[in-house]
Structure 1
Amino acid sequence: MDKVLEITSNDHIIMIDKLCKRILGHPEILGRIIKGFIKEAKDVSLEEIIELIKGKKEQEGNSYFQQLNNVIDIAHHGRVEFDYFCCINLPQAAKKRDGHVNCYKTNEHNISGSTIERLESYDKSEQIMIYLNKDHNIKDKYEDSDWIKTPLVIFLNNTYDLLVKKEVMKEYGFEEIEKEVKKMCNLGEMIARENIEKGHSIGLEQGLVQGQKLERIASIKNLMKKMAIPLDKAMDLLDLSSIEKEEMKKYFQA
């Protein structure tokens, strides 16, 4: 498929959105993002971060980063306050942006009065923007943070099959994310099949229309020859619509 995620209906959009959140919110992916791009986590091991994320689950038992508390106690490191929003640009970013990572922070602007708040009172959120390109060559390692970026660009890209993604899981040490990645592959295959079936349907319809057109042309020629009548008279005898008549005139005048 030309697009990374070929969308054919609103239902598919909802399904894709849900699966992307599952992958991004999976402890093995989210843990890497936090470890690699959040300065407060630099002294915490990836294993510790993953275990902390696993402790936060929704009703269905799935781990989600939206449910991480602003304040959390990290073993051997003390009490930490944070609230991170991670935005992954699905592998459709421009080639020149592939692998880039930006960080956006909250700034204070005094609107009324003279109160100046302490930085630590409001600077508790960061937005991490990760740019990925769908045509990234899996053999070309990113210059930095490849252990985060390559799994992301492969897992969120349905132009790669499950076999390729399993190889990435093995190479980069993923042990638990296969279930979510497989769901994304299955959705991609389902959408591809639907597009093929839709294409066949359109092809059959176009073939039928073309066949009817050729049949009308043959009938007109037959009447004009046997009855020695002009084109307009032949079309009247066949009771063609005004649109069909215009189409036939263009054909015979060509």
Structure 2
Amino acid sequence: MIKEKVLEEIIEGYRNTVSQRYQYQRIKDSYGLPETIDEDTVNQLRLYFLNYMYPTHDKRAELNQAFDSLEDYIKHPQKLLRILLEAAKIIFKYGRHLPKILTAGLGAMKTFKAATNFENNLVAEAIKNKIEAPYDAAKISALLKLLSREEIEKFIESSQALFEILHDKILIKKIKEVIQHLITAMRKNTTVYSQNQIKGLEIGLEMITEGDAIFNRLTKEDQQNLVKLITDIERDHLDHIF
């Protein structure tokens, strides 16, 4: 079994299970939904998952390259903080809260990396146990069952953390401003910062902005309902498998 081909097939199989889980009628029948969380909102949420957390194999390669270039900064936010310390306006505006804002923004990007690691673990189990493509829902469930429940719980918590950040409108506004400032500063110094590093921040900003757009269409109460709904759907899926 060729690892890269297995990865491509598993990504496609897992994307299909995500798409099935986030069908409006299925969610409405199983969980009930307030009228204010309509079909269009659920469709946007499903597309958000498929575009940013579980993208196609080709798109994932591009995102991996961008986020890999930021890996050191994601692990050590203080390195990016040094760039911000040169900006008097940002320092004056956010002061001692700046490290928290930056850490939260980079934390949102960790969700994508968590999804990548999760899929790589599924690939390892598929190869080890000689489970071959096509990876339909039954095979994906079988592969998930080979992972530890604790590992999958951590992955769900990582996803939940992203949506908790998106739910905090004040924090999100600050995160977007700080990341945009970083992008601008890095573009001015391309001898130090690579295009991939800049691209990683741009994609991260896009991920946060698009997620924010979904939550912006909802009341505060429905935003909380949506975060809870996502968690319930993922945990129920896990309970069904185990």
| TM-score interval, normalised by the smaller of the two chains | under 0.3
Q: Which has the higher contact order (CA 8 A, sep 6+)?
A: 2
Which is richer in strand?
A: 1
- Please give the TM-score of this superposition, normalised by the length of structure 1: 0.24
Which is richer in helix?
A: 2
Larger radius of gyration: 1
